[in-house]
Amino acid sequence: MRPDAEYIWRNEKVVNKLRWYYDVMLNRKPAKFLICRKVGFKDGNLSNYSLDELFNIHESLSKEFKSLFNDVKKGKLSFNEFMRLEEPKVTYLDVKVGIAKELIKSCRLCEWRCSVNRYEGKVGVCRLATTTYVASYFLHIGEEAPLVPSGTIFYGSCNFRCVFCQNYDISQVRPFGGVKVNARELALMQKYLRQEGARNINHVGGEPTPNIPIILESLKYLDANVPQLWNSNMYLTTESLKLLLDVIDIWLPDFKYGNNSCAQRLSKVVNYFDVVGRNHRMISLNEDPIIIRHLVMPNHIECCTKPVLEWIARNCSNALVNIMDQYRPEYLVLSNKEEYRDIARRPTDDELKEAYEYARKLGIDFEDVSK
């Protein structure tokens, strides 16, 4: 265990900002996915409903979830009392799984909205059909202090094409390596990681978004109380985000770019700032624990770092922020330094200092989790 992963919890501000995650981590509260499994739908056959009808059912059950969640959160229902509640035959989680599986028949899990039928073996930008690949899973001690040790599951594939990707071997290169898993196998991986001491299950990649159906389905079979963490580029649709909001206990999203043009040039993605900003705002409005990661890139302080930090200060005051100094030129940047001359080096100490000073000026809480 890293020493800072222990003493971070002496910091009252960190505990307060991450309170729900902290309580689930210590088994004082049940994870959200377990609460979803206590909210039921009376009709036992979800196949009778259209996608629009399933979303209407989802909206209704979300209200029931929030009522039960608030009782648990406020201590009106103890952990033991909650666990004794009956689990319905068809649950709110089942509805989420049903919707997710429908969404990939004309895929719109992420904002590429490729509309391919992945059940027929067709692939879009993520290059996945229905198979999920786990490249590795282990106790990660390199994450932010409140998360360590993190039960990290690295999924193959990504919907971005970052030219500097440090995980390009699992996110960009087909065929994707690792093992093919079904929902029950994924649940067993999560249980194992929790039993080994994981403070959370960290869904990352690559990118977890293309794997939402199997991740949600795995939670039907997971019989361990463990916080679910979403570690993502956050380029998912509002439909996908609605499926996750009542499931994820703590968010670890990226916010890389302060404009759309840098994102299009360096990650080959459109409307980045609008989409990612919208999704961060939805999480903040849901009052969920969140640690936002911003990667400081050389020569991008004015165009990216400062606008991102300004946006966070205005819209996500509840967030902890990791201002990351880990950028290094990798992947395509190494082989084409002339085209990507602006990012063909590590950020300087002066650039990092400027980012930190600007964050302090804006009143952003970053010093406890930045590394």
DSSP string of 168-195?
A: HHHHTSSSP-SEEE-HHHHHHHHHHHHH
Q: What is the pLDDT along the chain (371 residues), one digit of tens a residue?
A: 799 999 999 999 999 999 999 999 999 999 999 999 999 998 878 999 999 999 999 999 999 999 999 999 999 999 999 999 999 999 999 999 999 999 999 999 999 999 999 999 999 999 999 999 999 999 999 999 999 999 999 999 999 999 999 999 999 988 888 999 999 999 999 999 999 999 999 999 999 999 999 999 999 999 999 999 999 999 999 999 999 999 999 999 999 999 999 999 999 999 999 999 999 999 999 999 999 999 999 999 999 999 999 999 999 999 999 999 999 999 999 999 999 999 999 999 999 999 999 999 999 999 999 97
For 42-59, the DSSP string reads S-S-GGGS-HHHHHHHHH
User: What is the per-residue pLDDT for 344?
Assistant: 98
Cα–Cα distance, 149 to 128 (Å, whole number): 29
Q: Which residue has the tokens 């068809």?
A: 90
Cα–Cα distance, 36 to 220 (Å, whole number): 10
User: What is the per-residue pLDDT for 371?
Assistant: 75
Please count the other Cβ atoms lying within 10 Å of the Cβ belonging to residue 74: 8
User: What is the per-residue pLDDT for 285?
Assistant: 96
Residue 200 near residue 227, CB atoms below 8 Å: yes
- 3-state secondary structure at position 356: helix
Q: Tell which residue, 293, 302, 296, 303, has the closest CA to residue 347.
A: 296
Tell me which H or E stretch contains 150.
strand 150-155
- What is the separation, in whole angstroms, between the first and last Cα of the chain? 16
User: Tokens for 297?
Assistant: 């890139």
User: What is the per-residue pLDDT for 276?
Assistant: 98
User: What is the per-residue pLDDT for 296?
Assistant: 98
Question: For residues 316, 320, 326 and 329, what is the CA-based torsion angle, rounded to 10 degrees?
Answer: -10
Q: Indicate yes or no: pTM above 0.75.
A: yes
What angle do helix axes 51-73 and 92-103 make, rounded to 10 degrees? Answer: 140
Cα–Cα distance, 75 to 51 (Å, whole number): 35
User: What is the per-residue pLDDT for 327?
Assistant: 98
**Where does 255-371 sit in CATH, by number?**
3.20.20.70
Q: How is the chain split into domains, by residue range?
A: 255-371
User: What is the per-residue pLDDT for 174?
Assistant: 85
User: What is the per-residue pLDDT for 314?
Assistant: 98
Cα–Cα distance, 250 to 349 (Å, whole number): 31
